[in-house]
Structure 1
Amino acid sequence: MLSTKKTTVGRALAVLGSSLALLTTVGTGSASAHGAISDPPARHFGCYERWAANWQSPQMATEDPMCHQAWQADPSAMWNWNGLLRDGVGGNHRAAVPDGQLCSGGMTFNGRYAALDTPGPWKTVNRPSSFTMNLRDHSSHGADYIRVYVTRQGFDPKTQRLRWSDLELVNEVRNIPTGTTTPIAVTAPGRSGHHVVYTVWQASHADQSYYFCSDVNFTG
Structure 2
Amino acid sequence: MATNITWHPNLTYTERSELRKQNGATIWLTGLSASGKSTIACALEQLLLKVGVSAYRLDGDNVRFGLNKDLGFSEKDRNENIRRISEVSKLFADSCTIAISSFISPYRIDRDSARALHRDGHLKFIEVFVDVPLEVAEQRDPKGLYKKAREGVIKDFTGISAPYEAPENAEIHLNTEKQSVEECAQQIFEYLKKDSII
TM-score, normalised to structure 2, is 0.32
Larger RCO, structures 1/2 (Cα 8 Å, 6+ apart):
2
**Richer in strand (by share):** 1
Structure showing greater Rg: 1
**Richer in helix (by share):** 2
